[in-house]
Amino acid sequence: MKILILNGPNLNLLGKREPDVYGNTSFEAYFSKLEQRFKNCELSYFQSNHEGAIIDKIHEVGFSYDGIVLNAGAYTHTSIAIHDAIKAVTTPVIEVHISNIHTREEFRHKSMIAAACKGSVVGLGLTSYDLAISYLAKVEK
């Protein structure tokens, strides 16, 4: 089972950025734990601060991987292009957010990508990624 974890803008700063919201753990450190937990899955990780690179990665794996776990960061609230990229591929995408976007600033309450995704996991910290991977690993293709 091949699953891509795809993180968007500013998520390269996890562990440093607003630790009261996002915690003290870098994503690289957390990814190592995910690899240990999900040994039955071939996990890969990609992060970009650039919308086009995120779209290109969705196109690259969107017909060959078994799942994509996507934290689009702020692009969640603005990117119709990422929404369209998700709809264009056959690989299921699970939207994740570390914080609860519905309890933050009002501009974060609307997800432009949610309607294109299989489901969403929000507000459960880094565990949001675990839950998304667990779901994808159990889905029969």
Structure tokens belonging to residue 76: 């969640």
Q: What is the pLDDT of residues 31-90, one digit of tens each?
A: 999 999 999 999 999 999 999 999 999 999 999 999 999 999 989 998 999 999 999 999
Structural domain including 26 reads: 2-138
d(CA 26, CA 11): 9
Domain count, the chain: 1
Length of the chain in terms of residues written: 141
Residues 6 or more apart from 112 whose CB is under 8 A from it? 75, 76, 77, 78, 79, 80, 82, 83
What type of residue is 120? S
Structure tokens belonging to residue 52: 């086009």
CATH number of residue 57's parent domain: 3.40.50.9100
* pLDDT at site 25: 80
Structure tokens belonging to residue 58: 């969705």
Catalytic residue among 22, 30, 65, 129: 22
Q: What is the pLDDT of residues 82-112, one digit of tens each?
A: 999 999 999 999 999 987 777 666 866 688 9
Catalytic residue among 30, 65, 75, 97: 97
